[in-house]
Amino acid sequence: MNRIETTIEHCKTSELASQLQAACRAALVGGTIIRDMYNAPHSIEMKGAINLVTDTDVSSEAAIIASLNEDTPDIAIMAEESAGDNPKIPEGKVWIIDPLDGTTNFAHGFPFFAVSIALLQDGVPQVGVVYCPMQDELFASCREGGAWMNGKRIQVTDTRFLVESLVATGFPYDIHENIDEVLMQLRDILPKVRDIRRAGAAAVDLAYVACGRLDGFWEMALKPWDTAAGWLLVTEAGGEVTDFTGKPYSPFIPEILATNSAIHQLLKDQLE
């Protein structure tokens, strides 16, 4: 039994199983393109002062959309490179896709990036997949079916104290507008934790919280495709996901706090 088959057998319904299988298949298709193009010259365009897009983003997105349309033709798709700047919460079922989360890393040859695919139904996550092509790590989850990495069950850490916690964060693309808030967060949190990582791909950071490599993660100014899949991974692995004030999370709000649950209140207190 391969890693996808092992994972989907834990889905509560056959419909969820087929949808998770479709998401895994599409993520592997996109990830193969990314891996094959990793060492090739890249065509780069700027979407803003810092934010960029490569030809690999575009190729990966096209292949993922084609794969999902083949397997689930009746489900709408919201994808980073073709969506607007301010997407709204969609009604019904919709795939939320980031074809290459961590584009800047990819463009610089820093192998920390992923494909992220989530299925939402009326804003609630049903399926979440994050695929890291350079490590060949497939993180997958379905609602009430647990979280898995390459077919093995994953769970968050049981770390209880900030001083023992390894946490991660990210910086917004409009860093010049948010630099005071970002520096304040770092000043408040860094002395209280074991260490902070900033690797530049929110989907991977969330997957790492889910599998216990990180105890927590926070970031501001994010988009739905950055967090939708990782949100489900963390919750299905036993973690907690909210905004910075502890209110219920939605990928259509710009900030996220994801932890192993045990340190959630402690980390939230530092962000308020």
The answer on 251 and 121 residing in a single domain is no
Residues 215 and 130 in one domain: no
Q: What domain count does the chain have?
A: 2
Domain check: are 135 and 173 in the same one?
no
Q: Are residues 209 and 265 in the same domain?
A: yes
pLDDT value, residue 266 = 99
| 140 and 173 co-located in one domain | no
**Are 102 and 27 members of one domain?**
yes
User: Looking at the structure, do residues 125 and 225 belong to the same domain, yes or no?
Assistant: no
Ranges under pLDDT 70 in the chain:
46-51, 84-86
User: What is the structure's pLDDT at 41?
Assistant: 78
Pair (141, 173) in one structural domain? no
- Packing angle of the helix pair 14-37, 55-71 (nearest 10 deg): 150
- Would you state the pLDDT for residue 47? 62
Domain that residue 249 falls in: 162-271
Which of the listed residues 123, 153, 183 is the one where a domain comes to its end? 153
In CATH, what number is assigned to the domain containing residue 212? 3.40.190.80
- Same domain as 144, residue 37: yes
pLDDT of residue 84: 65
pLDDT the model gives residue 67: 99
Asked which of 153, 179, 213 is the last residue of a domain, the reply is: 153
- Answer with the one of 102, 122, 153 that is the final residue of a domain: 153
In this structure, the answer to whether residues 8 and 133 fall within a common structural domain is: yes
Predicted pLDDT at 40: 84
Q: What is the pLDDT of residue 178?
A: 84
Predicted local distance difference test score (pLDDT) of residue 88: 76
Residue 46: the pLDDT is: 66
Residues 87 and 192 in one domain: no
Res 48: pLDDT: 56
Q: Do residues 11 and 80 both lie within one domain?
A: yes
pTM score, two decimals? 0.96
